[in-house]
Amino acid sequence: MNRLIVVPLIVFHLCVLQSTVVADDNWPQFRGTRAAGIGTGNPPIKWDVEAGTNIAWKTPLPGLGHSSPIVWGNFVFLTTAVNSETETPSLETGWLGGSGKSAPDQGDWTWLVICLELSSGKLLWTKDALAGQPQVKRHLKASHANCTPATDGRHVVAFFGSEGLHCFDVTGKFLWRKDLGRLHSGPYDEKLLEWGFASSPIIHDGKVIVQCDCLNTAFVSIIDIATGEEISRIDREGEVATWSTPQVITTNAGEQLVCNGYRKIAGYNLLNGKLLWHLHGGGDVPVPTPLFDGGLIYITNGHGNSPIYVVEPSATGDLTPKSNKPASGLKWFRQTDGAYMPTPLVKDGLLYVGNDNGRLTVCDAQTGEVMYRQRVGSGSRVYSASAVAAGGHLYYCSERGEVTVVKEGRTFQAAAQNEMREVIMASPALSGDRLVIRTISQVICIRPDGPAAP
């Protein structure tokens, strides 16, 4: 397999990056800064992949990966896993991806970290993180590269679950690898099934934070990004497998780590790991990332039950609802309208929750009052990717490859529909006026036609 490494070109791009990059255009982790999913530019709402209208570039990707693209300056970072036996590993999309059984893969896999040039889509470098037999099988609907990488502009960290946490610099130089053990993720009531890992790393204040809720272990690891050494570990004993990415919030009381879960949706003091508040219940396969906006924490999940919980960061103790009246510290909650796979979005006082079957519920973010419920898209009714927002619009990608653009606001207004003509499992990235979408076989950069931005 060819590996293209162009060091002089990368050094040049690093120099350009220092002088031309607008920090707010960076998209450093799953769903961008703080996982908010909100961009700063005005990307197109209509495009045509076949005709090339508003298409800046298309770059093919090897293997199979559901990780989302991230952007820093003129770099786009992704991960994938390549099978030694086939170029097109089996994948079952649709509701729950069939029976829930593990994929019948054969052969070894190679886990890759890839860097593209944002302005052109050119491959800058590819690095093999690891090769061999996976320690844990994947779900028929999953890949062996589900976790979105994260960057701080100097480091790039890629997490492959049982295959470890890997750190490179932005030129592709290997820095360190951290083995966190075998991480067996699957349904808590079918412990023989193996579904693969999907919680993405985040970078905060010189530390890498990974949530490892699995059937055989449950913890949060906080790691020094400079050395790869574990600084501390937060025990989440008793939790079931969780595929959610954690969130760090900052308040006057300090920094708090928020984790989704089933038995332990919880907030912890980031400094000492002390449990501050917790909730029990909700969906038993937690996936969406917690959000923080307007002084409130938003959490949803949706396998079995589909709740929405809105927590005040000053809350303490057990917030699990015992009746229709929220406990002190639980601002509001609803036992319906949550989402199983996609992470919601909070913007301008509204909470947008798009669930797996394409129903969009929009609420007043402070009170929970429902503004509307409406189906988005046509034909497909399955959504795994999370929505992003920019320029007054929200972008919803179905698994079938239909991207529905909806106007922001308290009433439903569909603005456009675009066909990518390929399966989409990853959430898009935004950088200025660019929308970067990963399909099952390639990355496509969408921007207004005309001279490229720097």
The confidence score (pLDDT) of residue 97 equals: 59
Lowest mean per-residue pLDDT among 8-12, 83-87, 160-164: 8-12
Give SS3 for 172. Answer: coil
| Domain contains 281 | no
Asked if the structure places residue 321 within a domain, the reply is: no
- Provide the pLDDT for residue 101: 85
**Mean pLDDT of all residues in 262-274:** 97
Contact 171, 9 (CB under 8 A): no
**Res. 380 pLDDT band, cuts 50 70 90:** low
Q: Can you give the pTM of this predicted structure?
A: 0.93
Query: Average model confidence (pLDDT) for the chain?
Result: 92
State how many domains the chain has: 1
**Domain-located, residue 306:** no
- Answer yes or no: is pLDDT of 21 > 70: no
Distance CA 61, CA 403 (A): 20
Q: Is residue 391 part of a domain?
A: yes
What domain range includes position 243? 7-252+381-446
- Asked if residue 117 belongs to a domain, the reply is yes
pLDDT in tens, 275-289: 999 999 888 999 999
Q: In this structure, which long-range contacts are made by residues 294-298, counting pairs with CB atoms below 8 Å and at least 24 apart in sequence?
A: 294/346, 294/349, 294/365, 294/366, 295/251, 296/331, 296/365, 296/366, 297/247, 297/249, 297/258, 297/267, 298/344, 298/346, 298/351, 298/365
In this predicted structure, the answer to whether residue 451 has a pLDDT above a threshold of 90 is no
Q: Residue 232 pLDDT more than 60?
A: yes
201 residue type, one letter = P
Residue 262 is assigned to a structural domain of this protein: no
CATH (domain of 234) = 2.40.128.630
Residue 292: inside a domain: no
Classify residue 410: in a domain, yes or no: yes
